[in-house]
Amino acid sequence: MNPEAGAEGKHTATAEQPDRTNAAPVSEAKFLPYGRQHITDDDIQAVVAVLKSDWLTQGPAIPAFEKKLGEFIGAPETVACSSGTAALHLAMLALGLRESDEIVTTPNTFLSSANCARLVGAEVRFVDIDAATGLMDVDSLARVLEADAEKKIKAVIPVHFAGQPADLPQIYSLAKAHRAWVVDDACHAIGAEYEYENKAYRLGGSPHSDMTAFSFHPVKHVAIGEGGVITTANAELVRRMRRFRNHGMQKEDFAEREMALSPDRSVNPWYYEMQEIGFNYRLTDIQAALGMSQLTRLPWSLERRSRIASLYRELIGRSFDSNTVRPLTVLPNRKHAYHLFVVQINFERFGIGRAAVMNRLRQAGIGTQVHYIPVHLQPYYRKRYGTGPGDFPQAERYYVRALSLPMYPDLTEADCQRIIRALKAALGATA
Ligand SMILES: Cc1ncc(COP(=O)(O)O)c(C=O)c1O
């Protein structure tokens, strides 16, 4: 256990969600951030062992981590890389997406789900969500694909928002009818599952997607600082992603044979070749070892998160009218990974703004966040596509009411009770 877990005054400011409230929390009680990593002595020892070894990067911990991830996820192939964003970018590169192509994703996501397409020059189309779940609305997707007579849309990127699987079977069937790839963004959802035709599928190992991306950022279930993985069953895509991960370099299938071979026609031991431009998206052995150690606790983390979510639902149900504060809907036949616990709050009914509620909660020692500002409202996308308020009404309606409560495995029952009591007080709700 991390002795500092939830320590007073600890803030979780992340690259994804910078902490803009500078004031230290004033509550005497321990500070409960909206998300935080869980680090054990075993994790520390795993890292130390790598530090004492010969390999800090490009060593044996990387394939070992990839293998263990593949076993957990049920994925035939795994390509570990430096972040979830890198995983999504590698997917776009491997598919060969470029300027004349388009992808579809939802506005209710972190920037990377859309940015990965822009990084290869492809254009981004958004489709609205179901405001009750935060997930891609399949009917909206069907309409967008149908309107794409020129078949410019080459990939669909559904996001398993908060840890709940989107409707992959339907999305996959629509995408395939359009001859588009499915790259699902499971950065929130390692270990999540859905049932389809009486069979359970775990994200990343399901037949209803071509590639799946995961993130190992500190607020995620497996927290290694920065890191990611992309899974697929397609060996050719794996080959390309491994090459793009490492500067476009390869040590086989040489084009310049004269340079590659010694006079006796054996391959020169130093020789490598770059046939296309790539990146340094490698993970280090330090991170991989930490990841392997954390993977052993993933089932525990999923179980804890699920129990915390049930407790929140019970407490919220008892404390509020469902028209005023309501957790996101969980669809039938889903195993939710609960990266986030999002509630929809009708702030107008309480006569108070969201920022004021967040500030009051922070004063009470409770960190909250908002996931997500709809991506089509980001200045970059407004400028590029002329998008603006009203374009994706469900995502916008969802956003106005969204608040993420603390969610991480170390939260206790007493913490959850304290959080809901504080929320009630912050909203000025009467008992
Ligand atoms: C839905 C989603 N996709 C992609 C990413 C990118 O992952 P990373 O931060 O590891 O680059 C994140 C980040 O947290 C995310 O929440």
Percent helix, percent strand, percent coil in the chain, to nearest 5: 40, 15, 45
Residue of 12, 14, 16 best suited for mutating to test ligand 1, as the one with most atoms within 8 Å of CB: 16
What per-residue confidence (pLDDT) applies to 6? 34
Find the 14 Cα to ligand 1 centroid distance in Å. 11
Find the 110 Cα to ligand 1 centroid distance in Å. 6
Find the 20 Cα to ligand 1 centroid distance in Å. 20
- Can you tell me which atom of ligand 1 is nearest the CA of 112? 4
User: Cβ atoms within 10 A of the Cβ of 429, count?
Assistant: 16
| Average confidence (pLDDT) over 380-386 | 98
Say if strands 193-196 and 199-202 run parallel, antiparallel, or are unpaired.
antiparallel
Residue of 159, 184, 215, 222 best suited for mutating to test ligand 1, as the one with most atoms within 8 Å of CB: 215
| Average confidence (pLDDT) over 7-27 | 47
What per-residue confidence (pLDDT) applies to 353? 97
Find the 429 Cα to ligand 1 centroid distance in Å. 34
Position 3 pLDDT exceeds 50: no
| Average confidence (pLDDT) over 193-214 | 98
Is the alpha carbon torsion for 289, 293, 299, 300 positive or negative?
negative
Q: 69 with 288: CB under 8 angstroms?
A: no
Find the 112 Cα to ligand 1 centroid distance in Å. 6
- Can you tell me which atom of ligand 1 is nearest the CA of 227? 10
- Can you tell me which atom of ligand 1 is nearest the CA of 226? 10
- Can you tell me which atom of ligand 1 is nearest the CA of 371? 16
Q: Which residue, chain included where needed, has tokens 């469902």?
A: 322
d(CA 210, CA 189): 16
Find the 333 Cα to ligand 1 centroid distance in Å. 25
- Give pTM, 2 decimals: 0.94
Residue of 110, 119, 212, 220 best suited for mutating to test ligand 1, as the one with most atoms within 8 Å of CB: 110
Burial class (CB in 10 A: 0-12, 13-18, 19+), 49: middle
What per-residue confidence (pLDDT) applies to 25? 57
Residue nearest to atom 7 of ligand 1 (CA): 84
User: Cβ atoms within 10 A of the Cβ of 410, count?
Assistant: 17
Find the 71 Cα to ligand 1 centroid distance in Å. 22
Burial class (CB in 10 A: 0-12, 13-18, 19+), 146: exposed
Maximum distance among all Cα pairs of the chain, rounded to whole angstroms: 86
Residue nearest to atom 14 of ligand 1 (CA): 16
Find the 85 Cα to ligand 1 centroid distance in Å. 6
Q: In what order do the strands lie in the sheet with 199-202?
A: 199-202, 193-196, 334-335
pLDDT, tens only, 136-188: 999 999 999 999 999 999 999 999 999 999 999 999 999 999 999 999 999 99
Bridge partners of 273? 250
Phi, psi (5° rounding) for residue 181?
A: -85, 160
Find the 338 Cα to ligand 1 centroid distance in Å. 15
Residue of 90, 105, 112 best suited for mutating to test ligand 1, as the one with most atoms within 8 Å of CB: 112
Position 11 pLDDT exceeds 80: no
d(CA 40, CA 46): 10
Position 20 pLDDT exceeds 90: no
Ligand 1 pocket (Cβ < 6 Å) reads 16, 83-85, 109-110, 112-113, 159, 185, 187-188, 215, 217, 228
pLDDT, tens only, 346-366: 999 999 999 999 999 999 999
DSSP 163: G
What per-residue confidence (pLDDT) applies to 395? 98
What per-residue confidence (pLDDT) applies to 28? 76
Q: pLDDT grade, residue 29 (50/70/90)?
A: confident
Task: Report percent pLDDT > 70 for the chain.
Answer: 94
Find the 11 Cα to ligand 1 centroid distance in Å. 19
Please name which of 244, 226, 263, 247 lies closest in space to residue 82, comparing C-alpha atoms: 226
What per-residue confidence (pLDDT) applies to 15? 43
133 Cβ contact partners less than 8 Å away, ≥ 6 residues apart: 161, 164, 328, 329, 330, 331
What per-residue confidence (pLDDT) applies to 19? 53
Mean predicted lDDT score pLDDT of the chain: 94
Amino acid occupying residue 14: T
Find the 196 Cα to ligand 1 centroid distance in Å. 26
